[in-house]
Amino acid sequence: MKEIPIGARGAYTLRVEARHLANSFKDSVLPPVFSTPYLVLIMENAALNAIKQYLEPGESAVGTHVDIRHLVATPIGREVTGHAEVIRREGRRIDFRIWATDGAEDIGSGTHERAVVSVTRLIEKMAVKYA
């Protein structure tokens, strides 16, 4: 892993479709609004995008903790963007400030932690554990 600078930023954008709505896979009585699990997805992808350029071949970073607030309901058709900024590094652990917008306002915010891993080692450990 190369040195990951504090302040490194990434983003990830998604247009809200029917499959991203809370009423499609949570509770059908909910209004047709962007679901929290997809909010987490865009924020996690933004965090990974913030550090991808610093990873060595064969490395990736897995999510280990997410703490968010979903602030605003977002309707179908809106483009939502997750943002992430590196705020701390400790060895292979990276902490991020994360937030999301829908073009009009902030729709979520929080913190996220990822750990840099060797993909080969991760696969080997899983093979031993689940073989």
List the chain domain ranges.
9-130
Q: How far apart are CA 66 and CA 58, in angstroms?
A: 24
CB 81 within 8 A of CB 100: yes
- Catalytic entry in 20, 44, 59, 74: 44
Quick check: is 120 catalytic? no
Per residue of the chain (131 residues), what is the pLDDT tens digit? 789 999 999 999 999 999 999 998 777 888 899 999 999 999 999 999 999 999 999 999 999 999 999 999 999 999 999 999 999 999 999 999 999 999 889 999 999 999 999 999 989 989 988 97
The pLDDT of residue 92 is 95
- Catalytic entry in 36, 81, 85, 111: 36
Q: What is the topology classification, in CATH, of domain 9-130?
A: Thiol Ester Dehydrase; Chain A (3.10.129)
Quick check: is 90 catalytic? no
Q: How far apart are CA 87 and CA 50, in angstroms?
A: 11
Quick check: is 36 catalytic? yes
- Catalytic entry in 20, 59, 70, 74: 70
The pLDDT of residue 30 is 86
